[in-house]
Structure 1
Amino acid sequence: MATGQRWGRLLPALLLLLWRDWPLCTADHCSWKGSGLNWEPRSRAVEQVRLRCTEGSLEWMYPARALRVVLAPNLASIQHSTVCIKPMSDFKGANIYVEREGELHLLVSETDEARLQHVHCFASDRPQGVALFLQASPQRDISRRTAGFQYELLSNLSTAPNFQITLVEAMCRPCDNAELLMAVCSSDFVVRGSIKNVTHEPQHHMSQVDVLVEKVYRQKNRIFQPEEFTGEWTGPIKTLLQCRVKKGEGDFLFTGNEHFGDAWLGCAPRFKDFQMIYQTAREQRTNPCEFQLN
């Protein structure tokens, strides 16, 4: 067996042994930014970072030795039990391992483009949260490299081993009336508009719906904005390729949630159909919230 192969198999076990034996430098934040250059060359300390919010990010510049990251959001209920991470687009300088039942498993390799483009999710139903190890890669020079990721707590993906597979069930299934009424009350964005274009990205298993916006009722961040030259309000909404979204005529009410800075499609009825559903619910006093139709 080649030396590189033996080292690749021994590395996860060595990381666990070092973590148990070495002293720790600790930090506790929603987001963390640090540099391996700040560590003492002869220090045996392994820095531990505990990220305890529902979303945030980690940015490790000039990676050196190892970093242990615990994702332990303060869970509001047992339904909030899935944590997902998305590697940075320019991820370099380290590999990420996830700890499962006392063993480390390779999650993200800086040389594996496919893994770098995926969102990775973990069950987080244990009080101690999910532990990740970032192991710095050997470098011959001091050029800047950054290993980082965004993380987010996803309340509706309690048993998801895979972010995209789980979203198929939630996103491709048509919403019933009760789900639709709740969506306009609780979604990150609620927008009325028409479909300007639909593009498919088979390599990423995604589709993008470009919306020409007539009215923004609510948005968490500024995904829907006026274009510089035309002044028209537009914005992109992502969905899964498996949902087979097609361009349709007329006005729709687009709802959904934001994940890692992108808008993901939820319920999207034709606006005239939503008007009828909402008016009926209001007359029967079953609408969960007030919504301004005009």
Structure 2
Amino acid sequence: MIRPWAVLHWVTMALVYRAVAQYSSDQCSWRGSGLSHESHRRDVEQVYLRCSQGSLEWLYPTGAIIVNLRPNTEPSSANMAGVHVCVKPQPHSQGSHLYLEQAGDLKLLMAESEQAQGKIRCFSLNDGALFVEAVHQADISRRITAFQYELVSSQAPGVHLYPHLRPDFVTCEPCSDEEVLLAVCTSDFAGIGVFEGALLLTEEHTLVELTLSRLFHQKDSMFAGGRARSRRWTERVNIPAKCGVPLGGHEYLLTGSVHFGEAWLGCAPRYKDFLRLYGRARMAGSNPCHINTD
């Protein structure tokens, strides 16, 4: 049974009792244990992480922890709403419920029973801190709460195609000219290629195979293939199911992002349209970066 404890009670207990149950900690990831908590205390431990992505592993969870997540470069308060945290539990994660805590209120983000599904949940930094509460049980052996997290900008080009960020606001509208020009510079991958067709269709997304004839840049060598211009690169990317897959064999400028090891399509105009756009921007000196289109 999920019981949203009053956070003020937890905070009061934390002021009386300090619990430092930590194996290792850095700016990106945290690993700790609840074994040092005494059974009669409900300790709340503050965890501070300053990274764009990382992980948390809480062995034998008891009590609660508050996970404060921020970028390594602190945004202004006006831009905080544009930064979202996405959390993906490990399949073996259990022993805790995940909440959002703000001003003493708790809002359930993910129950213990949901975590084995590995579904992704996102929230704005303005929504509060991540409050991880251990499920009360007599035997805590073999209980480990474990998840990965990422910080994602809701203002990045093409991010409107990432359905986990704002599930109710996914739009299939093409990117603006400014977004396309920025996407080719800042996306995790960018290249020229075609859509080969859908491989898998679910309620949330479609898995599509892309073949690239040219690769401008990529993150973590995600596209398989050689570097020579005569070689081709292939990769499977995700597209929201409601958006469909372009047909007709046209060449596209293909850009996108990588989240939790999976590629998601971002801005993808027809390549001939991009060439005209990029040519105008170069003449006007407004292109944010230079790419070799020859």
TM range (shorter): 0.7 to 0.9
Could you say which residue in structure 2 is the equivalent of 1:226?
A: 225
Deviations 1:101-160 (A, max 9, x none): 3122222112136985132213338xxx624223245253633x33122222222269x9
Q: Is the 8 A contact 1:83 1:151 kept in 2?
A: no
Could you say which residue in structure 1 is the equivalent of 2:190?
A: 190
> Equivalent of 1:59, from 57, 60, 67?
57
| Structure 2 unmatched ranges of 5 or more | none
- After TM superposition, give the deviation of residue 48 of structure 1 in Å: 2.2
Could you say which residue in structure 1 is the equivalent of 2:13?
A: 18
- Residues 85, 138 of structure 1: alpha-carbon distance in 2 compared, 3 angstrom cutoff: farther
- After TM superposition, give the deviation of residue 209 of structure 1 in Å: 2.1
Matched, 1:264 2:264: yes
State percent identity of aligned pairs: 33
Within 5 A, what are the aligned runs for 1:95-114?
Answer: 95-112=97-114
Within 5 A, what are the aligned runs for 1:14-93?
Answer: 15-25=10-20, 29-37=27-35, 39=36, 41=38, 44=41, 45-73=43-71, 74-77=73-76, 78-81=78-81, 82-90=83-91, 91-93=93-95
- Residues 207, 20 of structure 1: alpha-carbon distance in 2 compared, 3 angstrom cutoff: farther
- Residues 196, 61 of structure 1: alpha-carbon distance in 2 compared, 3 angstrom cutoff: farther
- Residues 221, 188 of structure 1: alpha-carbon distance in 2 compared, 3 angstrom cutoff: same
Q: Which amino acid aligns with 1:135?
A: A
Q: Is the 8 A contact 1:164 1:240 kept in 2?
A: no
- After TM superposition, give the deviation of residue 80 of structure 1 in Å: 4.3
The count of residues paired between Structure 1 and Structure 2 equals 276
Could you say which residue in structure 1 is the equivalent of 2:250?
A: 250
Q: Quick one: distance in 2 between partners of 1:131 and 1:113?
A: 15
In terms of mean alpha carbon deviation, does 104-113 or 16-25 score higher?
16-25
Could you say which residue in structure 2 is the equivalent of 1:273?
A: 273
Q: Which amino acid aligns with 1:18?
A: M
Could you say which residue in structure 2 is the equivalent of 1:122?
A: 124
Q: Is the 8 A contact 1:50 1:70 kept in 2?
A: yes
- After TM superposition, give the deviation of residue 180 of structure 1 in Å: 1.6
| Structure 1 unmatched ranges of 5 or more | none
Could you say which residue in structure 2 is the equivalent of 1:153?
A: 151
Deviations 1:230-280 (A, max 9, x none): x96311222212223344413211112233332222211222222232223
Indicate the RMSD between aligned Cα atoms, in angstroms: 3.3
Could you say which residue in structure 2 is the equivalent of 1:179?
A: 179
- Residues 137, 192 of structure 1: alpha-carbon distance in 2 compared, 3 angstrom cutoff: farther
Q: Quick one: distance in 2 between partners of 1:58 and 1:216?
A: 34
- After TM superposition, give the deviation of residue 12 of structure 1 in Å: 4.5
Q: Quick one: distance in 1 between partners of 2:213 and 2:116?
A: 37
Could you say which residue in structure 1 is the equivalent of 2:137?
A: 138
Q: Quick one: distance in 2 between partners of 1:56 and 1:272?
A: 39
Length-normalised TM-score, structure 2? 0.78
- Residues 22, 103 of structure 1: alpha-carbon distance in 2 compared, 3 angstrom cutoff: farther
Q: Quick one: distance in 1 between partners of 2:250 and 2:265?
A: 17
Q: Which amino acid aligns with 1:174?
A: P
- After TM superposition, give the deviation of residue 167 of structure 1 in Å: 6.0
- After TM superposition, give the deviation of residue 223 of structure 1 in Å: 2.1
